Amino acid sequence: MKLTHFDEEGKARMVDVSKKPATEREAVASSSVFMKTGTLKLIMDRQISKGDVLGVARVAGIMAAKKTSELIPMCHPLNITSVSIDFVIDEKKSKIDIKTTVKIVGQTGVEMEALVAASAAALTIYDMCKAVDKGMVISDIMLLKKSGGKSGEFKRKE
């Protein structure tokens, strides 16, 4: 398998997608934030002094997806058609699971946009709650699935 972000001489480059057809593409990524049970309760009860943690994290994730090409050097600026971010609260494990879905009709995929959205949402939860819990852990940032494009479907095995 050849890496596409290097030319024949091994120099970094942005891949030329100008001749690729535009297709419907979608990527789903996830991340998790583990925290103290008291922190999770404060989030659920909307008692964090900075405001609605999950609402702000959702907006941060959406904004991050749109800014991915400014953060990741070889990513193309994209005309994203949809970003959705969902949260699942797991009280037993004292964590919040984040799932991001990014869609586009374009010449390149949106895996990085979904991963950046999942990361930014998790970082925002941390930022908004660090005053009460500096020991939070962000983990399991991963691509769950992607569709569209020449490489076809990918679905992570559970």
Residue type, 110: V
Catalytic pick from 7, 16, 90, 127?
A: 127
For every residue of 3-14, DSSP letters joined together read -TTB-TTS-B--
Do residues 91 and 40 make contact, with C-beta atoms less than 8 angstroms apart? yes
Q: Which residues pair with 86 in a beta bridge?
A: 99
Asked if 127 is an active-site residue, the reply is yes
Give the other-Cβ count within 10 Å of 77's Cβ.
10
Active site residues: 127
